[in-house]
């Protein structure tokens, strides 16, 4: 299998249905349909990941089958989480979103390659740290992020079991 990892652009959006892939992964992973409160970026990919500076979405393509097999996105920190001892800003903090690998392609180090692309992008864009959150019930997510040197900054007791994490780049 040959894989290309490409930054999302208008041509790629014309050739592949990135939105469909993302919603398919959300349904498979979280048993969830479209929820405007959580998925607004997916229905506005260009506005969130193509047009803005310092934001992007990487897409992995199985070039033999010509299909999307993974995604990983990054954008300026745009939340207002109150994490003790942390002060994240859009100028210095990137946020990781939409890291998905199709089940048929898992255990091939593809997610690690996608995250490395994100980290390279963040360094080039001058970010100081990368923020992300995951949920305790997201199978394999916490060990994956810990193995990629992300540190837990806060564990919440919310209904999702949200775990906030970061990785310093400088």
* Topology annotation, domain 3-168: Aminopeptidase (3.40.630)
Distance CA 42, CA 53 (A): 17
Q: What percent of the chain has pLDDT over 70?
A: 100
pLDDT given for residue 34 in this prediction? 84
Q: What is the pLDDT of residues 102-126, one digit of tens each?
A: 999 998 999 999 999 999 999 999 9
Q: Which of 4-13, 28-37, 155-164: highest mean pLDDT?
A: 4-13
> With 90 as the cut, is the pLDDT of residue 25 above it?
yes
Instruction: Map out the domains of the chain as residue ranges.
Output: 3-168
State residue 101's pLDDT score.
Answer: 96
């Amino acid at each position: 299998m040959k894989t290309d990892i490409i930054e999302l652009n208008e041509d790629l959006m014309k050739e592949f249905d990135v939105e469909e892939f993302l919603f398919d992964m959300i349904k498979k992973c979280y048993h969830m349909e479209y929820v405007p409160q959580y998925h607004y970026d997916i229905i506005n990919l260009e506005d969130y990941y193509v047009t803005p500076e310092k934001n992007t979405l990487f897409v992995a393509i199985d070039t033999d089958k010509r299909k999307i097999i993974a995604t990983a996105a990054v954008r300026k920190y745009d939340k207002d989480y109150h994490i003790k001892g942390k002060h994240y800003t859009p100028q210095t903090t990137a946020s990781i979103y939409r890291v998905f690998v199709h089940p048929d392609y898992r255990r091939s180090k593809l997610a690690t390659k996608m995250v490395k692309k994100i980290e390279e992008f963040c360094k080039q864009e001058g970010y100081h740290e990368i923020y992300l959150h995951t949920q305790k019930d997201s199978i394999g997510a916490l060990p994956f992020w810990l193995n990629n040197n992300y540190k837990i900054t806060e564990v919440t007791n919310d209904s999702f079991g949200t775990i906030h994490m970061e990785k310093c780049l400088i």
